[in-house]
Structure 1
Amino acid sequence: MLIFGLSTKQVLLATLFYVCDVCGNQAAHQLIKRTRRFTLFFIPLFPVGTRYLDTCTYCARTLDVPRDRAEAAVAAQGSPELR
């Protein structure tokens, strides 16, 4: 019997402050890197997919962000590099 599945790991890359497109408030936005991995017997083996998400902390609006824009935002803030 094989036990396999997917697991998700989230990493907060940066916290950015700007006006939200949906609610119109100056609020903190969290830039999150979400990586899904294939697991075998609860051991993560290899990544299946990576997404970058921007979440408004005021209204909870979440958008997908292209990798190049996420890297540029992290570099502009002076945070550690993406892995």
Structure 2
Amino acid sequence: MIIFGTKGYVHQMAMLMLLCGQCGNPAAHALRKRVTKFTLFFVPLFTVSSKYTTQCTFCGAERRVERDEAERLRTQAVQGEPGMQGPPGVHGGNQAHGQGPGETPRQQNPYQ
């Protein structure tokens, strides 16, 4: 009898400060790598697939990212670059709201 299957692993690569495209709040986002491995007799042998995602810690929205973008975000997090946002359109980066790189989002007063 041969016992085989797959097992999933989740590795947190970095925590990033981004502007969420779902809720619009500046919040920490977890950059995660999901790996599926083929197992034989419950021993993981080789990787079947890898997927990268970011998840907003404020609203829980999750977005899939490509490997090259995930590596770029991880490199920025390791280097500790201030004011990290994705390019315009990614998580609703601040530049799409008329703000320069590294600027914090403007707070709007609903009572004005």
TM-score, L = length of structure 1: 0.89
2:104 corresponds in structure 1 to: none
Give the match's secondary structure for 1:21. coil
1:55 maps to 2:72: no
Give, in whole Å, the separation in 1 of the partners of 2:23 and 2:5: 37
Q: CA deviation at 1:71?
A: 0.5
Secondary structure of 1:78 counterpart: helix
Q: Greater Rg, structure 1 or structure 2?
A: 2
- Per-residue deviation, 1:30: 0.2
Quote the offset at 1:18 in angstroms. Answer: 1.5
More strand by percentage? 1
Q: Which runs of 5+ in 1 are unaligned?
A: none
* 3-state secondary structure, aligned to 2:48: strand
Alignment coverage as a number of residue pairs: 79
Tell me the C-alpha RMSD between the 2 structures. 1.0
Percentage of pairs with the same residue = 43
CA distance in 2, matches of 1:69, 1:77: 12
Unaligned runs of 5+ in 2: 80-112
**Does structure 1 residue 19 correspond to structure 2 residue 12?**
no
TM-score by structure 2 length? 0.67
The residue aligned with 1:9 is 9
